[in-house]
Amino acid sequence: AQKITQTQPGMFVQEKEAVTLDCTYDTSDPSYGLFWYKQPSSGEMIFLIYQGSYDQQNATEGRYSLNFQKARKSANLVISASQLGDSAMYFCAMTTRGSQGNLIFGKGTKLSVKP
Amino acid sequence: GAVVSQHPSWVICKSGTSVKIECRSLDFQATTMFWYRQFPKQSLMLMATSNEGSKATYEQGVEKDKFLINHASLTLSTLTVTSAHPEDSSFYICSAPVPGSVPGSGNTIYFGEGSWLTVV
């Protein structure tokens, strides 16, 4: 069975500091993709970063980086230099080659950035 | 870039009535679209897979007669909540993968803006 686990219901971080949001996954499909989305209170799903199972290097997108440890089946999101606007829900998600593009989501982490 | 548009963003309806939510792919043809539901403070849960020209595939526990899905064209999928009840109040959001893309390859799965449904 495919599963995404996010064990941090809520996280606090001081403005301008870095924060790591944890995500572990489980799948038997050797080909998969891991996503992180940001969901503000408006509800929209904002794509942040993607890591493919065969990618050799960790993905980076601006202040976002993904710490991909394949053997541990973890794909933690690192946000550097946190900003007040980063306060939101963050979801880790996975899709596999066997799916048609549907995403399996974790329960999410609510990040609060303190001034 | 590819965009998925969802309408309406907000809808309030009376208990017992039906409400339709539209999901459109604006600059690509979406043979497959997905409908998710998100209850307050919970994660997104897949409700059904919408396939152009064929019947939708529903996840276990989702009533197909209550949540009617129509994917009559390559750019439009609709979700109709029939005989809505207050417990159907939720956030509904659609997504569409870009056809031909490597599954999960980067930003190739697009979400609509979502629809907040309140049944009173």
Burial A35-66 (b: 16+ CB within 10 A, else e): bbbbbeeebbbebbbbbbbeeeeebeeeebbb
Cα separation, B2 vs A44, in Å, equals 16
Cα separation, A4 vs B116, in Å, equals 25
- Chain B residues whose CB is inside 8 A of the A105 CB are 43-45
**Is the Cβ–Cβ distance between A37 and A31 less than 8 Å?**
no
Residue B106 predicted with pLDDT over 70:
no
| Pick from B103, B111, B113: CB nearest A96 | B103
Percent of chain A scoring above 70 in pLDDT: 100
Instruction: Give tens-digit pLDDT for A33-67.
Output: 999 999 999 999 999 999 999 988 999 999 999 99
| For range A97-103, the mean pLDDT | 81
Q: Which helix (H) or strand (E) holds B32?
A: strand B32-38
Instruction: Give tens-digit pLDDT for B67-81.
Output: 999 998 999 999 999
Instruction: Tell me the pLDDT of chain B averaged across its residues.
Output: 91
Instruction: Give tens-digit pLDDT for B78-97.
Output: 999 999 999 999 999 999 98
